[in-house]
């Protein structure tokens, strides 16, 4: 739409309380913040694998195990004409890093992933 452009600064210590609403519930919103999804979903599968220090196949197995490819906060598929590109957000990287830090056995995940094919 049209209207006044405002700059807003969010602070945890001062000002009025703020309540976040989902992107689907814009009726409740007093203001809408648009996010450039190309900046949010900036990693291709190879970049994500490097970020978590895994090979691409083991990274894919870990994504499968954690359900990352089904999570809209982690994966977005950009479509340009007949081409499509799956890109991942930092949420995907953080989930994968956390699972590895928590001691998840990637080799066991890899075996399970290969067995399902």
Structure confidence by residue, pLDDT tens digits, 57-80: 999 999 999 999 999 999 999 999
Name the helix (H) or strand (E) containing 79.
strand 75-80
* pLDDT beyond 70 at 26: no
3-class DSSP assignment, residue 85: strand
Q: The pTM is what?
A: 0.71
Residues written for the chain? 117
Hey, what are 80's tokens? 């340009």
Hey, what are 59's tokens? 């990274």
2 or 110, greater pLDDT: 110
Which is nearest to 75 in space by CA: 97, 93, 98? 93
Structure confidence by residue, pLDDT tens digits, 38-51: 999 999 999 999 99
The Cα-based distances of 71 to 2, 23, 61, 81 in angstroms read: 32, 15, 15, 24
């Amino acid at each position: 739409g049209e209207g006044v452009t405002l700059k807003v600064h969010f602070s945890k210590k001062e000002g009025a309380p703020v309540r976040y609403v989902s992107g689907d519930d814009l009726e409740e919103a007093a203001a809408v913040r648009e996010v450039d999804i190309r900046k949010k979903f900036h990693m291709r599968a190879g970049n994500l694998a490097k970020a978590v220090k895994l090979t691409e196949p083991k990274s894919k197995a870990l994504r499968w195990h954690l359900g990352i490819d089904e999570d809209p906060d982690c994966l977005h598929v950009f479509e340009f004409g007949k081409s499509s590109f799956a890109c991942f957000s930092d949420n995907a990287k953080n989930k994968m890093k956390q699972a590895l830090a928590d001691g998840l056995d990637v080799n066991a995940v890899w075996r399970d992933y290969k067995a399902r094919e």
